Amino acid sequence: MQVIVPLAGKGTRLLPVTKYVPKPLIPVAGRPVLDRVMETLSALKMDELIFITGHLKEQVEEFVKENYDIPARFIEQKVQDGTAGAVKLAEPYVNGPVLIVFVDTLFDADLSVVDSLDVDGVIWAKEVEDYQRFGVVVTDDEGNMTKIVEKPSDPISKLANIGLYYMRDWKTLFAGINDTLENPANNGEWYLTDAFQYMIDQGRKIRALEVDGWYDCGKVETLVETNAHVLRTGGASAVPEIEGVEIVEPVYLGADVELKNVRLGPNVSVGAGTKIEGGSIRDSLVGKNSILKDVSTEGSLIGDDTILDGLNQSNIVASGDEVAPAR
């Protein structure tokens, strides 16, 4: 199986951190989102990884080459024209069934089920109560997709599309992508879900399966929630008692973290080499090699190599010398 991983986006909702780190490489409990997604895929036989890159593509290429033994191909998406345009770039290299994974989220799912289903494709989804925020998958009585409706006002379905797909019939998939690209764009973008609708209209069956868990990493609020979930479910580290330091578990500390007179936690991860003195930090992610003095915050994302002194502000994104409110 080939795996297509589109990750060309700039991660604007996580600025200014994503000026310097591509969104898929932002760590959750000490490990990049991309790495945690790849761990979920590890049970599959993957013949090739096809990365659709863009923003800070050199960092992505370096990380993949250093961490994975699977053959990998990198294709730059020079024009941000939507998800259909991104996957279209892989067409010359695809020669069999494909898994398409958008790495904005973590998920709990048994992907091996694709070997036992007699369908042309699978779309994974998660039932949500705030269905108005998502594209939702509408199914027939057999659980096969009939359409996707973007941000419905009525509860036509509560199955949110999570950006994880398996397409056994890759030829009709790309026929659908090409058909989509021949039609007018939607605010300058073409959507992969329109190609799935083409497949259905051609009589193909795409089964909708629900994942056990779905954890968004695309904006600060949900990234903080995802970090907390990972910490609570095995991602925390053991922290020795330190005089003058109050630890409220769960927390994750990277190597060589220095703490002094600080209250840390719950639900905080701190990257290697960071120094924190004074203040209080909870429900936040702090990057590597940063220096925080008398900082009190919660619900925040603080990037690598960031120096903060005397800050008392929550729900922020900080990187270098820039501090911005979370979006």
Pseudo-torsion of CA 127, 132, 133, 134, nearest 10°? 50
Which helix (H) or strand (E) segment holds residue 220: the answer is helix 220-230
CA distance 214 to 106: 6
pLDDT in tens, 142-160: 999 999 888 888 889 989 9
User: Residues spanned by CATH 3.90.550.10 within the chain?
Assistant: 2-216
Q: Give me the residues paired with residue 315 across strands.
A: none
CA distance 204 to 83: 21
Phi, psi of 294 (to 5 degrees): 55, 45
Tokens standing for residue 37: 């997604």
pLDDT (tens digit, 0 to 9) for every residue of the chain, 327 residues total?
999 999 999 999 999 999 999 999 999 999 999 999 999 998 889 999 999 999 999 999 999 999 999 999 999 999 989 999 999 999 999 999 999 999 989 999 989 888 889 999 999 999 988 888 888 999 999 999 999 888 888 889 989 999 999 999 999 999 999 999 999 988 889 999 999 999 999 999 999 999 999 999 999 999 999 999 999 999 999 998 999 999 999 999 999 999 999 999 999 999 999 999 999 999 999 999 999 999 999 999 999 999 999 999 999 999 998 999 998
Q: What is the pLDDT of residue 263?
A: 98
DSSP states along 69-106: -S-EEEEE--S---HHHHHHTTGGG--S-EEEE-TTEE
CATH of 2-216, one of 3.90.550.10, 3.40.50.740, 3.40.1280.30, 2.60.40.10: 3.90.550.10
Helix, strand or coil, per DSSP, at residue 327: coil
Summary mean pLDDT of the chain: 95
User: Residues spanned by CATH 2.160.10 within the chain?
Assistant: 220-325
* CATH code reported for the domain at 220-325: 2.160.10
Helix, strand or coil, per DSSP, at residue 120: coil
Q: Give me the residues paired with residue 126 across strands.
A: 160
| DSSP count for the chain of H helices, then E strands | 6, 25
- Cα atoms in the Cβ-side hemisphere of radius 13 Å centred on 320: 8
Pseudo-torsion of CA 125, 126, 130, 131, nearest 10°? 30
